[in-house]
Structure 1
């Protein structure tokens, strides 16, 4: 499981690449990799909760984000080895064994 942070490096370029970035996010959900995407507050960038990918696959996916390619954001990928989860997150139990 991964937490990816996308912190703004050059927010002024974001409008030029937002369509490509949104398509990249949609592809992450369509591929079953992204579980949650949201904004870092206050207006600092974004964060992603992801699974179903190897560290190498996650790195390649993040490097394919137009915001990363164009220097709009800097990305950090944190790998998490979950030990426990609340029952409301029971659907993630397969990640606990990985």
Structure 2
């Protein structure tokens, strides 16, 4: 399981140019079953994603294709978590 942090850079003012492409990229991650959750980092710092069902190398490649990352509107940090215990609703993360 991974947490992806997308933090705004000084080029944040350009995000409007690439918002539709970024949304399409995020939708693809959800449609592919890789992203479990996408949300905003508060207060207005960028975005956060919970990801699974993918190995780190493929996730890195997918994140690099985010238009916000490619255009350096955000920097991406990927944190890997090895789940050991979960609430029963999240037991699928242990597989």
TM-score, normalization: structure 1?
Answer: 0.92
Q: Which residue of 2 aligns with 1:29?
A: 30
CA contact (8 A) 2:83 2:94 kept: no
| 1:54-75 deviation line (CA, Å, top 9, x unaligned) | 1100000000000000011000
**SS of match in other structure, 2:33:** coil
Q: Kindly report the root-mean-square deviation, in angstroms, between the aligned alpha carbons of the 2 structures.
A: 0.8
Moved over 3 A (4+): none
What 5-or-longer segments of structure 1 have no aligned partner?
Answer: none
| 1:1-44 deviation line (CA, Å, top 9, x unaligned) | 10000000121010000000000000001111000000000000
What 5-or-longer segments of structure 2 have no aligned partner?
Answer: none
**SS of match in other structure, 1:35:** strand
